[in-house]
Amino acid sequence: MTAGIDDIAVYIPKLFLDATDFANARGMDPKKLEKGLGVSKMAIVDTNQDPACLASNACLRLMKKNKLSPEDIGRLYIATESALDESKAMNSYVIGMLEQVYGDGSFGHCGGIECKFACVSGSYALYDNANWIRAGEAENKSAIVIVSDIAKYELGSSGEYTQGAGAIAMLLNDNPRLLQFDPKVTSTSIRNEYDFYRPLGRETPIVHGQYSNLLYLIQVKNALELYKQKALSTGLIKPKEGETFLDYIDFLNMHLPYSTMGKKALAYLLRHEWRELPRWKSIIEKIGMEEPNPKNPIGTIESVLSDTEFMGKDHEFTKKFTQTEEFQEFYDSRLASSLIASKMIGNLYTASLYLGFRSCLEFEFQKGSDLAGKRFGFGSYGSGSSAMIFSGVIQPAYKEIVSDMNIESEVGQRVKLSLEDYEALHENKRSFNDSILNSKHEFVIVDIENKPESKGERRYAYTN
């Protein structure tokens, strides 16, 4: 039994913070954001939007576009790290909103849970739902997996310039038009870590930025090692002498907390994969220096980060490696298109990887690439921490879906925030009924109860 992604819909809030305005206000060089991190705009939620609204808006778009009725859906999963409640799952809020459109009780037959593991949980949700379909449990129904988040960091912190917000809804079935998952190769790595976490009651995370960057790379590499073993033992990929598994991945999509993280991850993985291959010799000659090693090669992440001599040399080596034509060719042809939307929108936590996938489809199609039969590899990472590597093949019917993709028109007319309005929104100085925009045809919050017996109950409406 096969399973995969049939269609995908995006909802991005219309308010945004311009990275240059932000950098100027914080006394930073705007080039650090634009070039260093690949951030030009960050989507920001209005006062009357929460992650459940974003999720419902994406899901409604997916259902309307595919003329789906609730009867067609067997499971509705939400992956998020922006939970609204310690107990009540975000799915229930979303079902409540959707039933305002489709009728009270119309989703009564539908199961689902809220999934949490920082940014990787959407990938676990996809995998579990794909397996539900493969197991023959779906009874001709589809599953919907929604990834929805508000990436919000403390004012003045180094995470503040990697914010964003949005949701992506994905339709899964046994005859997908877009991407069929490769069976029996999905691989994970997991480890108890405190690179990025949000203790109960806090709205913003505690972050160890450089630690989280390096951990992301290590965890993804570990998951890739397992993927390679599985791809070899199932016969999915059989590299010939002098080749690597990545030669067989036509397009790569990575988790993108900011868009240049994709390039960083690609450089790390290619160094790892190419090091033992004949092609490495000529690359090293072009780079003009040997690959550096930390003083303690089996040390902790802290020991590597504090080895400043190694870190400096490694940084120099990576920069030179990314300038070689071998790297550039791989980057331009297999990764670059997936980074475009992230630059325009920012970090979406769980949804970032899938915004990258969506971006790759749209911009490769615009370039005239024929994607049918091409293998997409996915590198998912969630702090805390776990990585997942999986892959899938683009299906012949993909053009039906991809030819209509236009991220700019799907986001709609965007409104630039002043720094003052951004900070007031960030610090929750405006109440939910004092929104900046007058939204139309969207779910928004219309009430949040404050009485002790009903504290936190949220009411939503679909605006006309």
User: Where along the sequence are the contacts to ligand CAA (CB under 6 A)?
Assistant: 29, 31-32, 35-37, 118-119, 158-159, 161-162, 196, 207, 209-210, 212-213, 216, 255, 257, 261, 315, 347, 349, 381, 383
Kindly tell me which of 22 and 216 has the beta carbon lying closer to ligand CAA.
216
Q: How many helices (H) and strands (E) does the chain have?
A: 16, 17
User: Is the Cβ of residue 76 or residue 355 nearer to ligand CAA in the bound state?
Assistant: 355
Least separation, in Å, of the C-beta of 263 and ligand CAA? Answer: 8
Q: How far is the CB of 152 from ligand CAA (least distance, A)?
A: 11
Is 245 or 321 the residue whose CB approaches ligand CAA more closely?
321
Residue among 433, 430, 437 nearest 445 (CA): 433
* CB count in 10 Å sphere of residue 32: 13
Report the C-alpha gap between 236 and 244 in whole angstroms.
13
CB of 30 to ligand CAA, least distance (A): 8
Residue 385: CB minimum distance to ligand CAA, A: 8
**Closer residue to ligand CAA, CB minimum distance, 313 or 399:** 313
267 vs 401, which CB is nearer to ligand CAA? 267
State the Cα–Cα distance between residues 67 and 63, nearest whole angstrom. Answer: 6
For ligand CAA, the closer of residues 42 and 185 by Cβ is 42
Q: Output the smallest distance, CB 419 to ligand CAA, in A.
A: 18
In the three-class reduction of DSSP (H, G, I as helix; E, B as strand; rest coil), residue 289 is classed as coil
Nearest approach, Cβ of 210 to ligand CAA (angstroms)?
A: 5
Q: What residue number has its CB nearest to ligand CAA? A: 36
Min dist CB 256 to ligand CAA, Å, is: 8
Q: How far is the CB of 220 from ligand CAA (least distance, A)?
A: 10
Listed in sequence order, the residues at least 6 apart from 433 whose beta carbon sits closer than 8 Å to its beta carbon are 47, 48, 446
Name which of 382, 384, 383, 381 is nearest 192 in CA terms. Answer: 384
Among residues 111 and 312, whose Cβ is nearest to ligand CAA?
A: 312
Alpha helices by DSSP H, listed for 51-175, are 51-65, 90-102, 121-134
> Least Å distance between CB 32 and ligand CAA?
4
The strand pairing partners of 254, in sequence order, are 379
The CA-based angle 58-381-389, given to 5 degrees, is 95
Instruction: Residue 339: name the closest of 40, 7, 24 by CA.
Output: 40
Question: Whole-angstrom Cα distance, residue 251 to residue 365?
Answer: 13
Between CA 120 and CA 117 the distance in angstroms is 6
Rank residues 155 and 446 by Cβ distance to ligand CAA and give the closer one. 155
Shortest spacing between CB 227 and ligand CAA, in angstroms = 19
Cα 188 to Cα 203: distance, rounded to the nearest angstrom? 28
In the complex, minimum distance from the CB of residue 20 to ligand CAA, in angstroms, rounded to a whole number: 13
Residues in CB range of 30: below 8 A, 6 or more apart: 19, 20, 23, 24
> Closest CB to ligand CAA among 102 and 317?
317
- Listed residue (55, 62, 69) closest to 9, CA to CA: 62
Measure the CA dihedral 303/304/305/309, to 10°: 110
Which one, 134 or 264, has the nearer CB to ligand CAA?
264
Q: Which is nearer to ligand CAA, 21 or 99 (CB)?
A: 21
Q: How far apart are CA 314 and CA 286, in angstroms?
A: 16
DSSP state letters, 162-198: G-EEEEEEEEEESS-SSEEEPTT--EEEE----SEE-
